[in-house]
Homo-oligomer: A and B are copies of this chain.
């Protein structure tokens, strides 16, 4: 039996009771932290909290050598721990399909996610978000791929909000900050807007979110150019580019995130 367990957003208390119970009753516990990452805890703390030994798999181990996990799941009750929800990354969908091929039963224990927190913490309504996108580190000299700009533009044309996930490079413990993301987007939108339009990028409203799922998340709405010089503190961060704002959404951004009234 292979149970995929979502660890949720932030620390060892972000897991559900159901997830804790699944770990309790597991004979073997694997985890990976390269597709997602719990900034508020460590593997040692998770091991102590659940009183188990956790076998951490890196990218190569999970993607190119899933056999040890499948072997364990064939023999024993095996839990595979992932930050957020365990099935958001294609890697784990692939692992689940391999288990099914080998007639190993699987189960999914959901976790809290950045997708939900992005609307929940900002007051932006979840059904008014369009397609999400990811800002990658590896792109020219700090730029933004056309595909990302296309997603944002496509959503804004239809009045929809865009959630930008920010890149994680687990190997070098690098997590893109909301300030870095805002700076890249400000530059990219300026390039695409040119100088002669009224919709200058420096006036684009965005919302940076830090440490979603912790007891003290930071949520700040401002011009991209202002967010670019904001210290959001420890990871993980998210960036949201709002589309059209309903009255309650504008009020929420002002009250909960300090949005300047002239931008609303």
Binding site for B on A (CB under 8 A): 6, 8-9, 12-18, 20-21, 85-88, 90, 93-94, 96-97, 100-101, 107-108, 110-113, 115-117, 119-121, 123, 125-134, 154, 158, 160, 165, 212-213, 215, 217, 248, 251-252, 255-256
Is A121 a contact partner of B12 (Cβ separation < 8 A)? no
- Give A108 Cβ to nearest chain B Cβ, in Å: 6
Task: Say whether, besides A87-B119, A126-B115, A215 and B248 are in contact (CB < 8 Å).
Answer: no
Partner of A8, one of B16, B20, B131, B212: B16
Q: What is the oligomeric copy number?
A: 2
Is B17 a contact partner of A15 (Cβ separation < 8 A)? yes
Is B120 a contact partner of A131 (Cβ separation < 8 A)? no
Is A127 a contact partner of B116 (Cβ separation < 8 A)? no
Is A129 a contact partner of B126 (Cβ separation < 8 A)? no
User: Closest 10 CB pairs between A and B?
Assistant: A87-B120, A13-B18, A13-B17, A110-B112, A127-B132, A113-B116, A93-B123, A85-B116, A100-B255, A85-B120
Is A96 a contact partner of B256 (Cβ separation < 8 A)? yes
Query: What CA separation (Å) do A205 and B3 show in the bound complex?
Result: 28
Residues of B within 8 A of A17 (CB): 12-17, 20
